[in-house]
Structure 1
């Protein structure tokens, strides 16, 4: 009985630690941005000799280099999509099941919302696969997917990286095959900025707050962001099936 009464306090403590970690990270990043503005420095990658996605992922060894035009997961897909398009494409798979594939670009949310609303029959399930892209478009499209009561799914050997997990999270239920690959990393804001560093840090803070609010609204544990924040944009942290369950991407009771 004592275990049951103490359990609710743990998530709040964990979230508090994550928020503190985010604050420390952003303060450090702000300092680096200021130095970079003054001296033209580029932020370094973290961790030496990070293997490519062609290397198997094991517990505790989950960070891989990631270039969308080059890197693919090691598992063999059930359906080889070839090169994914640069922008999201909606195509009918069967009945009310559709595929949503490709890079997420600025303006894709509005465009895909129109396509989903015009689709006949109305989509009930979206099979998602994407190398990622625009975070703001992924969040906007994800909120529409949730509002429409659409399920999301990932098939064996297919992947969902960077901003794509926000689309995956939007499903009213999420069916993720154990051999699917879901990965997160820091959001990429570009190597150069024409804004003062203080404005850049403010944008980062606002963006992280929006992402964490979105994840919470979708029923995903925001603690997943600890992996994203510690993984630079040119790498990807691949979530294991047990992590996807722990963070509620694939809850065992759905």
Structure 2
């Protein structure tokens, strides 16, 4: 008989509670390490609504506080109600004679499965319109692969946002319509919630995630060098890409030079 067994069930219960308390401390400590730098030194970048200029493209970012903006008439399939859903909302509509799906809201874990179920019911659209402050990178990559498999286009209106993980969905379109005024932005992000792992395993997980994203972007025809902006922009800030950069990284086609021979 082991020593624990001899001491009775009370001792075993105390050991289990002690182990659970230890895990709780680890989780709390990891969360504290994650948010403490931002709490001690919050971003002093301009507000998201401040005018953008080349070289001045980093803005403060909170996905729950992205302001609603007024779109040009007839620039999007559905009117903007001003509300950004807390998880992706899918709506199937006819717009300009085309089958369109609008995708609005934060990208939450499980939204990729929900999108697959939605497509199974509604069928593949010709165009997917995006308006999202981002969220789950893993789900964004899966949704993007589904869009590419359907050979659908992606689009935004001049008042829509596609931030954080959303550009990975935007990248999946066979063509991408991103008008002047649309906000497309990138920053650092997390690839999971394995915050109780040892530091070296957490770093390995992040590096693997970054590698998966870069491979995905390359497969979608996007220059993975766009990640240079994401890697140096903290999670409480967002780097907004200019139209010129969207062309440089192949989100948009290059403008033809009419003077070229």
TM range (shorter): 0.7 to 0.9
Larger Rg: 2
Any stretches of 5+ residues in structure 2 without a counterpart?
A: 1-28, 73-78, 257-261
Tell me whether 44-53 or 208-217 shows the greater mean CA deviation. Answer: 44-53
Residue of structure 2 equivalent to 1:97: 100
1:188 Cα shift?
Answer: 3.3
Q: Where in structure 1 are there 5+ consecutive unaligned residues? A: 1-35
CA contact (8 A) 2:44 2:60 kept: no
Instruction: Report the secondary structure of 2:189's partner residue.
Output: coil
Contact residue 162 and residue 236 of structure 1 kept, 8 A:
yes
Query: Which residue does 1:76 correspond to in 2?
Result: 70
Paired with 1:237 and 1:47, the residues of 2 have a C-alpha distance of 16
For 1:162, the equivalent position in structure 2 comes to: 164
- Please name the residue that 1:133 is paired with: 135
Q: Distance in 2 between matches of 1:179 and 1:223?
A: 23
- Other structure's SS at 2:229 match: helix
TM-score by length of 1: 0.78
Following superposition, the deviation at residue 191 of structure 1 comes to 9.7
Deviation for aligned residue 1:77: 2.5
Q: Alpha carbon RMSD of aligned pairs, Å?
A: 2.5
Post-superposition shift, 1:190? 8.2
Q: Which moved more, 1:181-190 or 1:203-212?
A: 181-190
Shift of 1:104: 0.6
Of the structure 1 ranges 160-169 and 51-60, higher mean CA displacement relative to structure 2 is found in 51-60
In 2, the alpha carbon distance for the partners of 1:106 and 1:242 equals 32
The answer to whether the aligner puts 1:44 opposite 2:37 as a matched pair is yes
| Deviation by residue 1:102-160 (Cα, 9 ceiling, x = unmatched) | 1111111011012123215x311010110101000000110011011011001111100
Give the TM-score taking structure 2 as reference length: 0.76
The answer on whether the counterparts of 2:190 and 2:206 sit within 8 Å (CA) in structure 1 is no
Q: Quick one: distance in 2 between partners of 1:51 and 1:191? A: 29
- Structure 1 residues 98 and 140: CA distance shift in structure 2, 3 A: same
User: What residue in structure 2 maps to residue 3 of structure 1?
Assistant: none
> For each residue in 1:6-52, what CA deviation from the matched residue of structure 2 results, as whole angstroms up to 9, or x when unmatched?
xxxxxxxxxxxxxxxxxxxxxxxxxxxxxx87x95856358962111
Work out whether residues 99 and 125 of structure 2, in 8 Å CA contact, stay in contact via their aligned partners in 1: yes
Asked whether the equivalents of residues 245 and 251 of structure 1 are also in contact (C-alpha less than 8 Å), the reply is yes
**Closer/same/farther in 2, CA of residues 236 and 48 from structure 1, 3 Å limit:** closer
| CA deviation string 1:68-98 (max 9, x = no partner) | 222337x632342311111111112324012
